[in-house]
Structure 1
Amino acid sequence: MIFERWFLVIFSIVCLLVLIKFIPKNKKRDAWILFLFLQVITWPAGLIAVEMGWIEYPTQLLPDANNYNKTSFSFEFFFFPIVAIMFSLYFPKRKYWYLVLLYYVGVSGFFTMFEVVLERTTTLVTYHEWKWYWTFITVIISLFINDLFYRWCKKGLIVVREHEN
């Protein structure tokens, strides 16, 4: 368990460095919108999956957190939202359907493979009734909803900024 906690600490630091390095200064507000809205999706979805006994997160970064919330704080509230930020901020400008499909499949596939490797080699994630393809599907759906909300907000922010001038 010590290795897993160190892994979470180091991975959290790497994620913070990614945020600092790859979020342009003019996109910080957009990053916050993406970060917070994805948590609105992942919190109830994660609670359902854990409470139904489909998936378990035996090792937490904060050990007492398991007494209050059995979802993974690190995955659901930090790592996945960072993936969503990068996903939407670097979404392909050209909207050819096959590029968009490849982008969704690539990002979701990478996240799913990462989780499967962690499930097989650590005590960070344990699948019970859960399967890798459920992660893949829910990641695609979550990214789609989050990006849709982001684009809707962006239109609203543009209108508000125009009225401010």
Structure 2
Amino acid sequence: MNLERWIILGILLLSIMCLKLLVPREKVREAWVIFLFLQVITWPAGLIAVEMGWIEYPIQLYPKANLYNRTSFSFEFFLFPVVAIIFSLYFPRNKKGFGSLLYYVFFAGFFTFLEVVLESNTKLVEYHEWKWYWTLVTVMISLYINDKFYRWFSKRLILVELK
């Protein structure tokens, strides 16, 4: 196994540890909703970016999976949804305006920084026509849509439990 696959494995293990440590037991159902809904967003977006040739993920944890889906399972379908779970569960609902914007920039910036470091130092990500600021913007938009859905779902869940 090469260095890139060890990095992917390390990121997956770190993500699992974050879930175990940061998701309260009573919020597991909400975490699943956030996790799965973000995948609804990342699936078509990731496929478009890869199929258009803007970005490439040459090394996968499972190389044969690259024959069917050239997006990054590890990043788009696991790491990013884990980041979205932490984002939504700990979102400062009492902050408005600039404080809320800083929260978005922090999380999107973390994910973007990680991708840029991996792009420049490994063969896990290759930008072709893609730029780091597209990652920043698309991550912020995805987190926004996902968090709006989570809040809508949470309100519906509370109404069902009250009945």
TM-score band (shorter)?
A: over 0.9
Alignment partners' CA distance in 1, 2:52 and 2:96 = 39
Structure 1 segments, 4+ long, off by >4 Å, are none
TM-score, with normalisation over the residues of structure 2?
A: 0.98
The match for 2:162 is: 162
1:129 partnered with 2:129: yes
2: CA distance, partners of 1:94 / 1:25: 23
Match in the other structure for 1:138: 138
Deviation, 1:110, is: 1.2
Amino acid paired to 1:66:
N
Paired AA for residue 89 in structure 1: L
Displacement after TM superposition at 1:76 (Å): 0.7
Task: Using the TM superposition, give the Cα deviation of residue 119 of structure 1 relative to its aligned residue in structure 2, in angstroms.
Answer: 0.2
**Structure 1: where are the runs of 5+ without partners?**
none
- The residue that corresponds to 1:40 in the other structure is 40
Residue 95 (structure 1) shift: 2.4
Alpha-carbon distance in structure 2 between the residues aligned to 1:62 and 1:93: 39
Residues 104-125 of structure 1: CA deviation (Å, up to 9, x unaligned): 0111111101100000000000
Root-mean-square deviation (Å): 0.8
1:30 is matched with 30
Unmatched 5+ stretches in structure 2? none
Matched residue, 1:70 = 70
Deviation of 1:96 after TM superposition, in Å, equals: 2.2
How far residue 55 of structure 1 moved from its aligned partner, in angstroms, is: 0.1
Task: State the shift of 1:57 in Å.
Answer: 0.1
